[in-house]
Chains A and B, each alone.
Chain A
Amino acid sequence: MGPTIEPGRLARRDLIKRAAAMGAVAVPAAALLSGCAAGGSGSTKKDTGTKTAANPLGVDKNAPLDVVIFDGGFGDDYARQFEKLYSKEYTGAKVSHTPTQNITGLLQPRLNAGDPPDIVDDSGNQMIKLDVLQKAGQLTDLTPLLDAPSIDDPSKKVRDILMPGTVQIGMVDNKFVTLPYVYTVSGMWYSGKLFKQHGWTAPTTWSDFMSLSAEIKKTTKIAPFAHQGKYPYYIDVAIMDLAIKNGGQDFLTRIDAMDPTIWDEDAAKNAIEAMYEIVQRNYLLPGTDGMTHIESQTAWNQYKAAFIPCGAWLENEQLKATPSDFQMTFMPMPSLPGDKLPATAIRGGANEFYIVPKQAKNAAGGMEFMRLMLSKKGATAFAQTANSLTVVKDGVDPTVKLRPGTQSTVTALKAAGANVFNPTYVNDYSAFATDMDNASAEVMANRMKPAEWLKTVKASAVKAKKGS
């Protein structure tokens, strides 16, 4: 963990104390709201510079910048790369770097004291909920960032270089107050080395997938398919990807609106029946239904299974378990006959939320930091150090060498083009999603047939619709 006390911050706190004594700052009354306090009156002096074409957000070139990073699955090294970019631009600014796993513990007291950092990666188990922060008036409106020219091509605004859907996800109460920076795609994964060795090619249609599975089963000791059975969320993503690609935009809109009639239609039926075929033909890795994500993914890394469904965090998660010549490769879920979306369509969405606190002294600097994160250099640095993609469209420099898995997601995302989808029902209807998890696990364990699955899921959808 990084230093918790750092001289610059102390000095600033002193300054505020003195200002408070002179009555320049309204001392925040003990107005402790739930979780985080509504801070002072916001009359603290902000560090701002003059806005110019090169400095569209009006950053004070010499103002210090205070960065707090969630030290989780992505580590915190990538943030040092961003800080280097910032320091290069603003040589006079002192940039401080604080990694932590306990965002609430670090942020809450500083918000209450009216002395928050300038940019925070509000993530992990201990994140402060964004709607709570917004209600307490603690978030800077980041619309100026969206309307600022982008670093790489000043003729384009920042909002125009983002992946579709990013701005929407960053909205709380109809205001763009948080930047979801990481872009995660989901689909299926295989070992490039294994496939090359046996002369297999990645299937694009479900029937190709089934015939390749048959060949794998017949000619090798490898199981065609593994999944993270203890957490049925993973297999649900795969089933719903099949369904959404089959039913198209219409299906997606209606499942997010919790329309129970979609479970009577073909898309859902085709998807679950396709998945059940894997079970029926005994293509599952023995024991996979009871395995944790780490157990199943590691078995897959040990060439015990050919395919596994997962999100793009897989490569970083399995970094230590993956053999160096494994050639981890991503592919979209294969297409079913009659699919409305093309075979290249994939699930993709933005997450990992960055904020600029309202009372940040150097709020302009915090936003400028985000603008740098959204440059190609920033996105490339993130892909290299955190092995994940960002919301910057085509953000990764093609000449830079990435890990094979991350590289393959870049290729797949490019091929998908506008055909990316991101269902939201999982967050909006958690009881429904849990019911589906349970039913899918039963199907995978061959204790439930597809018809019963459809019935169970529909019943749950009816209940969820009524409850909302």
Chain B
Amino acid sequence: MRHRRYPFIVGFLIVPVALYAVLVIWPYIQTFGYSLTDWSGESQTMHFIGLKNYTALLSDHVFLTALEHNGLLLVFLPVITILLALFFAFMLNVGGQGRTGGVQGVAGAAFYKVVFFFPQVLSVAILAVLFEAVYRSDAGGLLNGVLVKIGLENSQNPIEWLNDPGTVLWCLLAIMVWQGVGFYLVLFSAAMQSIPKEIFEAALLDGAGRAQTFFKVTMPLLWDSVQTAWVYLAIAAMDFFALVSTLTPGTAYGGGPDYHSEVLSTYLMRNFLYFGKSGYACAMGVVILFLTLIVSVLALRATRRERIEF
């Protein structure tokens, strides 16, 4: 029977693979082609300039700054989001003080789950409007308003959250964490619920506390989900376009103040559409593609562990 399996599979795959090739692979190849030219994006005339765009990237300090910011986000976004989500998921599913014994979440867990998940249903556009009000640069902003009210800040000298080189990137990171935690909380909750209760009960009988249960039982059994979350979050950290372009100061797609929140995607767009340096932008696109691929592979590799069957 084996020899008839492949034509059968190919028969099913040919249409999606063809679509994938035309709509995904081909544009990537085209982008690579354009990245070797001085295309302006406004007309069809362009000249082949070899790898000049790529060598220019290496000495472009804005590009390198953007790369550094994406690197920072790449480290902090997954770590903070996953840790918070794991903690909350643990509390909601296992962390309750059982009155009659057994394993359960804290009181009102179902309600908390909805509350935590809520930010996930908001679109990025709404997030931008919402956090524009939160981070507003005078005492009219939510954050500054509270700080002024409790006397930690003078209303004549408010913190300009998104216009301060020291805070802007962390403010954006906080938004992504706030939005992401709920989703990964639900993901981890589902995974936790599939862990047999007996395992927890056994740990409980052996006298394991909350912390021990979490690190010795829950974490190892959730590793597959954590791995998935890591890859997703790493890809999200490579993007950040929407938040930076809408919330941060600066001409054409934000990135300010003075490039302190610049990320690869916003710098790419500014070059592509605003500066008329589309060939250069395509070179950036190719670099981002490879970086994202490398990051995904590394994330999967680094988190690979022995699977525990249950």
Contacts and interface: CB of A to CB of B under 8 A. Distances in A.
Contact of B276 (A299, A430, A438): A430
A434 B270 contact: yes
Interface stretch (A225-233, A261-269, A416-424): A225-233
Interface stretch (B97-105, B255-263, B284-292): B255-263
B252 interface: yes
Given A437-B251, A441-B256, A430 B163 contact: no
Contacts of B43: 34
Contacts of B165: 447
Given A438-B258, A441-B257, A287 B249 contact: no
Contacts of B258: 438-439, 441-442, 447
Interface string A143-184: 000000000000000000000000000000000000000000
Nearest to A287: B138
Interface string A7-51: 000000000000000000000000000100000000000000000
A433 B139 CA distance: 31
B155 A431 contact: no
B251 A286 contact: no
A335 interface: no
Interface in B158-174: 158, 160-163, 165
Interface string A284-323: 0111111110010001000000000000000000000000
B136 interface: yes
A230 B249 contact: yes
Secondary structure at the B interface, as helix, strand, loop or mixed, is loop
Contacts of B157: 286
B19 to A, nearest CB: 24
B53 interface: no
B163 A290 contact: yes
A34 B44 contact: yes
Interface residues of A, number: 27
Interface in B104-158: 132, 136-141, 144, 155-158
A287 B147 CA distance: 14
Interface string A320-331: 000000000000
B274 interface: yes
A231 B44 contact: no
A299 B251 contact: no
Contacts of B141: 287
B96 interface: no
A439 B249 CA distance: 12
21 contacts: A229-B163, A230-B162, A230-B249, A286-B138, A286-B155, A287-B138, A287-B144, A288-B138, A289-B137, A290-B137, A290-B161, A290-B162, A290-B163, A291-B137, A295-B136, A295-B138, A430-B252, A430-B275, A434-B274, A445-B160, A447-B165
Interface of B: 43-44, 132, 136-141, 144, 155-158, 160-163, 165, 249-252, 256-259, 270, 274-276
8 tightest A-B CB contacts, nearest first:
A290-B137, A287-B138, A290-B163, A290-B160, A287-B137, A230-B249, A437-B251, A434-B251
